[in-house]
Structure 1
Amino acid sequence: MVLYIKYLLIHFKAQMQYRTSFWLLSIGQFFIPFAIFAGLYFLFERFGQIKGWQFFEVALCFAVIHMAFALSECFARGFDAFSNLVVKGEFDRLLVRPRSTFLQVLGSKFEFTRFGRLLQSVIVLVWALGNLPIEWSLMKAVTLVLMIISGVLIFTGIYMLAATMCFWTVQGLEVANIFTDGGREMAQYPLNIYQKWVARFFTYVIPFGCVNYLPLLYLLGKTTGHDLLYMLMPVLGSLFILPCFLVWQFGVRHYRSTGS
């Protein structure tokens, strides 16, 4: 963690050398999801509800998944941009260092401008929570935090899988965006509004349902017993990163130098 924090500080100092650019990009990131949220708002203004879900319930779902996406884009950006290291042959340099390749790639790039996107998600989260009749308890507060952490780990796991493919394809594959950007767009709504096969895929294969939909039912008091199971769903969803890490290790072991 000491080395990771050093990576963090170095990148932060580098990005703050161009402060005007940093703040303009942060403001831009703040407004990028604004159009998406505006579309969500006008959708409910027109129809009132979607399959029994009210606006502020979906707004909470929206805020959680966008917070998780913003944090993963900020702190796991190294895996998203990993193809550059392979193409330029710079990954070979990481291999000869006496530190984990996972840590080095994770610390190779940070996008602090994503805090603009994070700020908007926090505002939506506070607005939604202020308008929902949730009977708060310590366990519900912990569940909400775990939902965000679980989302960060799932997005990071997807970035890792996409990065691992670069060992064989060299260039990153745009198909990964189906599960990052597409997964974010899909999971900003409760999964039960979709076809059953879609909900099952995003629950049992890529467990976004464990981030927002299932624990969201617990927060809103819509469960019929088994509250503990719904509370633990974010923890189970977080386990998605373990096979992703194993796949990454497999790719590292089978990596062949670019020869550059």
Structure 2
Amino acid sequence: MRLFGKYLLILFKSQMQYRTSFWLLSFGQFFIPFSVFAGLYFLFERFGQIQGWTFFEVALVFGVIHMAFAIAECLARGFDMFSALIVNGDFDRLLVRPRSTVLQVLGSKFEFTRFGRLLQSLVVLVWAISRVETDWTLMKAVTLLFMIVSGVMIFTGIFILIATMCFWTVQGLEVGNIFTDGGREMAQYPLNIYHKWVSRFFTYVIPFGLVNYVPLQYILGRTEGSGIPYMLAPLAGCLFIVPCLMLWSFGVRRYRSTGS
């Protein structure tokens, strides 16, 4: 973790060498999800509810998902840009260093300009928390934290999976955006508004349902019986990153240099 912190510090200092550019990019990132949130607001302004979900309940999910995506995109940007390391042959240098390739790829790129997206998501989340109809307790606050952490792990796992495919395809596959950008757009709504096969896929395969829909039942007091399984569901979602790391290790063992 000390080495990871040094990676963060070095890259932050390098990006702050162009402060005007940094703040302009951060400002732009603030308004990217704002337009999506505006669409969400006008949708509920027109229809009132969506299958029993109110605006602030969905806004709570929106804030959690977009905050998790912003953190994952900042910290796991190295995996998102991993194909460049393969194409240029730079991954070979990582293999001869006495540190984990996962740590080195994580430390190769950070997008601190995602702070703008993170700030916007935080504003929406705080607003939703203050307006949603529920009695907040310490356990519910902890559940909300679990939701964010689980979302970060799932998005990071998806980035790792997409990067792993580069060991065989060399170039990155745009189809991966279906599960990053597409997953983010779908998971900003409770999954029960979609067809059953969609909600099942995003619960049992890519477990976004364990980030938003299941723990949200506990926060809103809609559970039957004990609420502990609903509260701990996001921690099960964190396990998604384990098979992603296993597949990454499998790909590293079968990597053949591009010869660049």
Normalising by the smaller structure, the TM-score range is over 0.9
Partner Cα separation in structure 1 for residue 232 and residue 118 of structure 2 = 25
Residue 130 of structure 2 corresponds to 130
Unaligned runs of 5+ in 1: none
CA distance in 2, matches of 1:157, 1:125: 24
What CA distance in whole angstroms lies between the structure 2 residues aligned with 1:192 and 1:203? Answer: 11
Bigger mean CA offset, 10-19 vs 224-233 = 224-233
1:73-103 alpha-carbon deviations (Å, 9 max, x no partner)? 0000000000000000000000000000000
1:249 corresponds to: 249
Cα distance in 2 for partners of 1:197, 1:168 equals: 30
1:121 aligns with 2:114: no
Task: String of CA shifts for 1:164-203, please: whole Å, max 9, x gaps.
Answer: 0000100000111000000000000000000000000000
Query: In the alignment, does 2:172 pair up with 1:181?
Result: no
1:136, distance to aligned residue in structure 2 (A): 1.7
1:51-73 Cα distance to aligned partner (Å, 9 max, x none): 00000000001000000000000
> How far apart, in 1, do the equivalents of 2:193 and 2:116 lie?
29
**Residue type matched to 2:8 in 1?**
L
Cα deviations across residues 129-161 of structure 1 (Å, max 9, x unaligned)? 111132122211111001000000000000000
Distance 1:134 1:125 in 2: 14
Counterpart-to-counterpart distance in 2, 1:7 and 1:207: 30
Cα separation, 1, equivalents of 2:136 and 2:184: 26
Q: Output the CA distance in 2 between the equivalents of 1:223 and 1:199.
A: 18
Q: Please identify runs of 4+ aligned residues in structure 1 that moved more than 6 A.
A: none
**Distance of 1:11 and 1:217 partners within structure 2:** 40
Q: What's the counterpart of residue 238 of structure 2? A: 238
Alpha-carbon distance in structure 2 between the residues aligned to 1:78 and 1:93: 15
Alpha-carbon shift at residue 222 of structure 1 (Å): 1.3
Name the CA distance, whole Å, in 2 between partners of 1:190 and 1:156: 21
Equivalent residue letter for 2:228: L
Separation in structure 2 between the aligned mates of residue 67 and residue 227 of structure 1, nearest angstrom: 24
Once residues 117 and 35 of structure 1 are traced to their aligned partners in structure 2, the CA distance between those partners, rounded to angstroms, is 12
Aligned mates of 1:222, 1:58 — CA distance in 2: 15
Q: Which residue of 2 aligns with 1:47?
A: 47
The alpha-carbon deviation at position 226 of structure 1 amounts to 2.9
1:15 aligns to 2:15 (yes or no): yes
Q: Indicate the residue corresponding to 1:99 in structure 2.
A: 99
1:226 and 2:226 correspond: yes
Identity of aligned residues (%): 77
Quote the residue 2:90 is aligned against. 90
CA distance in 2, matches of 1:248, 1:53: 38
TM (norm. structure 1) is: 0.99
Task: Please name the residue that 1:75 is paired with.
Answer: 75
* 1:38 alignment partner in structure 2: 38
- Specify the code of the residue in structure 1 equivalent to 2:243: P
Per the normalisation by structure 2, the TM-score is 0.99
Letter in 1 for 2:203: T
- CA displacement, residues 11-39 of structure 1 (integer Å, 9 cap, x when unaligned): 00000000000000000000001110000
Letter in 2 for 1:22: F
> Quick one: distance in 1 between partners of 2:34 and 2:201?
28
How many residues in Structure 1 have an aligned counterpart in Structure 2? 260
Structure-1 separation of matches of 2:121 and 2:150: 16
Work out the CA distance in 2 between the residues paired with 1:40 and 1:222. Answer: 23
